[in-house]
Amino acid sequence: MSRRRALTAAAAAGLGLPAGAAHAAASGPAPVIQPGVGPAGRGRSTNVRFATFNASLNRAVEGGLLADLETGQDPQIRAVAEVIQINNPDVLLINEFDYDAEHRAIDLFRRNYLEVGQNGRTPVHYHYVHTAPVNTGVPSGLDLNRDGTVGGPDDAWGFGLFPGQYGMVVLSRYPILTREVRTFQHLLWSSMPGNLIPESYYGTEIAAQLRLSSKSHWDVPIQIGTKKVHLLAAHPTPPSFDGPEDRNGRRNHDEIRLWADYLRPGKASRWIVDDSGTTGGLQPSESFVIAGDYNSDPTDGDSWPGAIDQLLEHPRVRDTKPASAGAVEAAQAQGGANSDHKGDPRYDTADFSDVPGPGNIRVDYVLPSKDLQAVASAVYWPKAGEAGSELTGTYPFPTSDHRLVRVDLQIRGL
């Protein structure tokens, strides 16, 4: 693996420093930012594109993603990079990006894939990065799946074959205020008032030790001109792969509820404690964008009732309902579970198995606060035969079974 720029990403991710200075030596000067596309200046407004993409950049063995990133030729990663280049987000959350403590993976992803034009696309540059440890694959030392043994992916704090599998990363063209980032990796599920822990399944001793977040929850403040926007990033567990106790469905609901409570001042958010010991939620005056794969559809699938509605119907949240024509076409062509869905297929963001399985559903979200003006939104799901449709095929899919979701917001730098 190349180590020439390994410290660049580590500095950006761990210290909140722009990667631009060291980065420029490796890849040339930073791109010119045009009005309405990049950083907002004082006294004017600009459109900023926020996006989320569960890119399936996870591998079955620790170090597998690093090996694929180093080559610069992995076809799936190239396709992921091309999707990002086509959509050109200014702030991007990637779910399912395996974490490594030295942050080499994200550095390689930028240098070998994003900053190289894929199939003639324009390269993209992100000088600010945030990533951090997650609960997936981290041994709990407890028998969480109640099979009489301790160890393995089901007994990790979050399901994973190794620590950091299915991690997250934030890429931004705007400064990330890393010293203000709040993480909630260690927040106890039992600390949530009225939680849905199936204590009869886990037992009192284990229930008291469970972590709420299956990966992590991050509040990542981003400075856009004079405006600070909090990116609230997460990836709750799928509400499946359990038994009649519905432990994953319950956890998914409460992982989503964490952000719903975080947006409520006073008593409702007083129980929330971040990993540095600071309590409480986000102030009512603060702007935010909730982003990520929340593994919950408002009408279909097997979520706990009302799970994602905790955000979609929250008084501070705006749902722009990103849509695509490709999702409608796919639901009609694939049939199966899709034929029984109650929700409008144009809002689907994931192409899951139809028989058996939940079919295509809406699980990926970019939800801005109501004080931010939404200009446009979309799910990147081209119809068959359209340009880019080769990047979003069904299994074996060239990128992911999820689609990139984007929302353009008008941000005024006053």
Q: Which two tokens stand for residue 330?
A: 């796919």
CB 281 within 8 A of CB 264: yes
DSSP characters over 279-344: B----TT-EEEEEEE----SSSSSPPTTTTHHHHT-TTB-------HHHHHHHHHH-GGGGG--S-
Task: Give the CA dihedral 255, 368, 414, 41, nearest 10 degrees.
Answer: 100
CB 404 within 8 A of CB 87: yes
pLDDT of res. 42: 53
pLDDT of res. 6: 34
d(CA 246, CA 240): 8
Tally of CB atoms within 10 A around 66: 17
Residues 6+ apart with CB under 8 A from 277: none
d(CA 84, CA 53): 9
Please state the φ and ψ torsions of residue 404, each to the nearest 5 degrees: -70, 135
Tally of CB atoms within 10 A around 62: 16
As a whole number of angstroms, the longest Cα–Cα distance in the chain is 63
CA 197, distance to chain mean position in Å, is 24
pLDDT of res. 225: 95
CB 224 within 8 A of CB 174: yes
Residues 6+ apart with CB under 8 A from 73: none
pLDDT-flagged residues of the chain (< 50): 1-41, 414
pLDDT of res. 3: 30
CB 383 within 8 A of CB 329: yes
Task: Give the CA dihedral 169, 174, 180, 186, nearest 10 degrees.
Answer: -10
Whose CA is closest to 155, among 147, 404, 248? 147
Rounded to two decimals, the pTM is: 0.90
pLDDT of res. 356: 85
Q: Going by CATH, does the domain composed of 6-28+42-413 fall within 3.90.1260.10?
A: no
pLDDT of res. 358: 94
d(CA 413, CA 149): 56
Q: Which two tokens stand for residue 369?
A: 């606060």
d(CA 35, CA 39): 8
pLDDT of res. 396: 67
Which run of H or of E encompasses 86? Answer: helix 75-87
Q: What is the pLDDT of residues 362-395, one digit of tens each?
A: 999 999 999 999 999 999 999 999 999 999 976 5
Give the chain's radius of gyration (CA, Å).
20
